[in-house]
Amino acid sequence: MKKILFLVSLLISASTTWAEQVVIQTKNTTMVLDVEGDKQPQYVYYGTRLSDYDLQNLQKPRSGRMDAYPAYGMNCPAEAAIAIRHADGNMSTVLGSDYVDEIEGKGNNREYRIHLVDPVYPVTVDLCYRAVYDEDIIETWTEIKNGEKKPVTLTQFASCSLPIRRGNVWLSHFSGSWGNESNLTEEPILAGQKVIKNKDGARNSHTDHAEVMFSLDGKGRENSGDVIGAALCYSGNYQLKVETDDTEYHYFFAGINPDNSEYHLKKGETFATPKVAFSFSKCGLSGVSRNFHKWGRKYMLAHGNKERKILLNSWEGVYFDINQQGMDQMMGDIASMGGELFVMDDGWFGDKYPRKTDNCALGDWVVDKTKLPEGIEGLLRDAKKHGIKFGIWIEPEMTNSVSELYDAHPDWIIKAPKRDAVKGRGGTQLILDMSNPKVQDFVFSVVDNLMTKYPEIDYIKWDANMSIMNHGSQYLTMNDQSHLYIEYHRGLEKTCQRIRAKYPDLTIQACASGGGRANWGVLPYFDEFWESDNTDALQRIYMQWGTSYFFPAIAMACHISATPNHTVFRTTAMKYRIDVAMSGRLGMEIQPKNMTDEEKALCRNAIAEYKQIRPIVQFGDIYRLVSPYDKKGVASLMYVDEQKSKSVFFWWKTESFQNEHLPRVKMAGLDANKNYKVHELNRIDLKPMDVEGKTFSGAYLMNHGLEMPYRNEPEWSKKSDWSSRVLLLDAE
Binding site residue list for substrate? 178, 345-346, 425, 461-465, 511, 533
Pick the closer one to ligand DGJ by CB: 250 or 517.
517
Distance CA 115, CA 101 (A): 8
Nearest distance from C-beta of residue 347 to ligand DGJ, angstroms = 8
Would you call 555 helix, strand, or coil by DSSP? Answer: helix
Q: 376 CB contacts (<8 Å, ≥6 apart)?
A: 367, 392, 450, 453, 454, 457
Instruction: Indicate the residue whose CB is closest to ligand DGJ.
Output: 346
The length of the chain is: 732
Question: Is the CB of 121 or the CB of 315 nearer to ligand DGJ?
Answer: 315
- Closest by CA to 544, choosing from 273, 282, 203, 180, is 180
Annotated binding residues? 178, 345-346, 425, 461-465, 511, 533
- Closest approach of ligand DGJ to the CB of residue 154, in Å: 34
Residue 533 engages ligand DGJ in binding (rule: CB under 6 A): yes
> Considering beta carbons, is residue 540 or 624 the nearer one to ligand DGJ?
540
Q: Is 521 in the site for ligand DGJ (CB under 6 A)?
A: no
Assess whether 38 carries a catalytic annotation. Answer: no
54 catalytically annotated: no
- Choices 322-330, 396-404, 506-514, 713-721; region in contact with ligand DGJ by CB under 6 A: 506-514
Span near ligand DGJ by CB under 6 A; candidates 281-289, 447-455, 510-518, 697-705: 510-518
Strands (E), 361-449: 389-394, 398-400, 429-431
Q: Of 320 and 629, which CB lies nearer to ligand DGJ in the complex structure?
A: 320
Q: Are 140 and 278 in contact (CB under 8 A)?
A: yes
- DSSP-derived secondary structure letter, 293: H
Query: Applying CB under 6 A, does 280 fall inside the site for ligand DGJ?
Result: no
Residue partners of 557: CB distance under 8 A and separation at least 6: 509, 528, 529, 530, 531, 584, 585, 587
- Distance between CA atoms of residues 636 and 645, nearest Å: 20
Question: Least CB distance from residue 334 to ligand DGJ, whole Å?
Answer: 17
Can you give the three-state secondary structure of 484-523, one letter per residue?
HHHHHHHHHHHHHHHHHHHCCCCEEEECECCECCCCCCCC
Site string for ligand DGJ, 322-361 (x = CB under 6 A): -----------------------xx-----------x---
Strands 634-640 vs 621-626: parallel, antiparallel or unpaired: antiparallel
Of the candidates 168, 172, 165, which has an alpha carbon nearest to the alpha carbon of residue 222?
172
Nearer to ligand DGJ, 397 or 533 (CB): 533
Q: How far is the CB of 490 from ligand DGJ (least distance, A)?
A: 25
Cβ proximity to ligand DGJ, 537 vs 708, nearer residue: 537
> Least CB distance from residue 543 to ligand DGJ, whole Å?
13
Q: Segment near ligand DGJ (CB under 6 A), from 285-293, 396-404, 507-515, 520-528?
A: 507-515
Catalytic-labelled residue, pool 333, 533, 579, 621:
533
Note whether 289 and 281 are within 8 A (CB).
no
Of the ranges 52-60, 107-115, 509-517, 560-568, which one interacts with ligand DGJ (CB under 6 A)?
A: 509-517
Helices vs strands, H then E, count in the chain: 12, 36
Q: Is 463 in the site for ligand DGJ (CB under 6 A)?
A: yes
Q: Does 487 bind ligand DGJ (CB under 6 A)?
A: no
Tell me if 513 contacts ligand DGJ by CB under 6 A: yes
Binding to ligand DGJ (CB under 6 A): which residues in 357-386?
A: 358
Q: Which of 126, 136, 382, 463 is catalytic?
A: 463
Pairing of β 585-589 and β 556-561: parallel
Q: How far is CA 317 from the centre of its chain?
A: 27
Rounded to whole angstroms, the Cα distance separating 182 from 222 reads 17
Residues 6+ apart with CB under 8 A from 408: none
Q: Indicate the residue among 530 and 652 with the shorter CB distance to ligand DGJ.
A: 530
Closest CA to 678 of 698, 653, 663, 703: 698
Residue span 409-438 as binding mask against ligand DGJ, x where in contact by CB under 6 A, dash where not: ------------------------------
Amino acid at 178: W
Q: Burial of 41 by CB count in 10 Å (0-12 exposed, 13-18 middle, 19+ buried)?
A: buried
CA 50, chain centre distance (Å):
30
Output 517 or 674, the one with its CB closest to ligand DGJ.
517
x-marked contacts with ligand DGJ along 199-228 as a string, rule CB under 6 A: ------------------------------
The CA-atom distances, in angstroms, between 577 and each of 79, 181, 580, 589 are 47, 18, 5, 11
Least distance between ligand DGJ and beta carbon 391 (Å) = 12
Query: Which residues lie below 8 Å from residue 432, measured CB to CB, with a gap of 6+?
Result: 363, 397, 398, 399, 412, 413, 414, 439, 442, 443
Find the shortest distance in angstroms from Cβ 425 to ligand DGJ: 8
Read off φ and ψ for residue 357, nearest 5 degrees: -145, -165
Q: Which helix (H) or strand (E) holds 188?
A: strand 183-188
Site track for ligand DGJ across 152-191, x = CB under 6 A = ----------------------------------------
Query: In the bound complex, what is the minimum distance in angstroms from residue 530's beta carbon to ligand DGJ?
Result: 5
Q: Does residue 459 touch ligand DGJ according to CB under 6 A?
A: no
CA-to-CA distance for 584 and 301, rounded, in angstroms? 15
- 96-104 vs 2-3, strand pairing mode: antiparallel
Among 229, 287, 363, 514, binds ligand DGJ (CB under 6 A): 514
Q: Which stretch binds ligand DGJ (CB under 6 A): 12-20, 78-86, 377-385, 511-519?
A: 511-519
Give the C-alpha distances (Å, rounded to integers) separating 288 from 135, 506, 620: 10, 30, 14
> What number of other Cβ atoms are within 10 A of residue 47's Cβ?
16
The answer to whether 531 contacts ligand DGJ (rule: CB under 6 A) is no
> With respect to ligand DGJ, which residue has the nearer C-beta, 233 or 512?
512
Nearest distance in Å: CB 132, ligand DGJ:
32
Size of the residue set binding ligand DGJ (CB under 6 A): 12
Q: Is 465 in the site for ligand DGJ (CB under 6 A)?
A: yes
Q: Does 511 bind ligand DGJ (CB under 6 A)?
A: yes
Secondary element (H or E) of residue 292: helix 284-295
Spell out, one character per residue from 387 to 406, where the chain touches ligand DGJ: x when CB under 6 A holds, - when not.
------x-------------
Smallest gap from residue 532 Cβ to ligand DGJ (A): 8
Any contact of residue 315 with ligand DGJ (CB under 6 A)? yes
Is the CB of 342 or the CB of 639 nearer to ligand DGJ? 342
Shortest Cβ 511–ligand DGJ spacing (Å): 5
Chain residues in the site for ligand DGJ (CB under 6 A):
315, 345-346, 358, 393, 463, 465, 511, 513-514, 530, 533
Catalytic residues: 463, 533
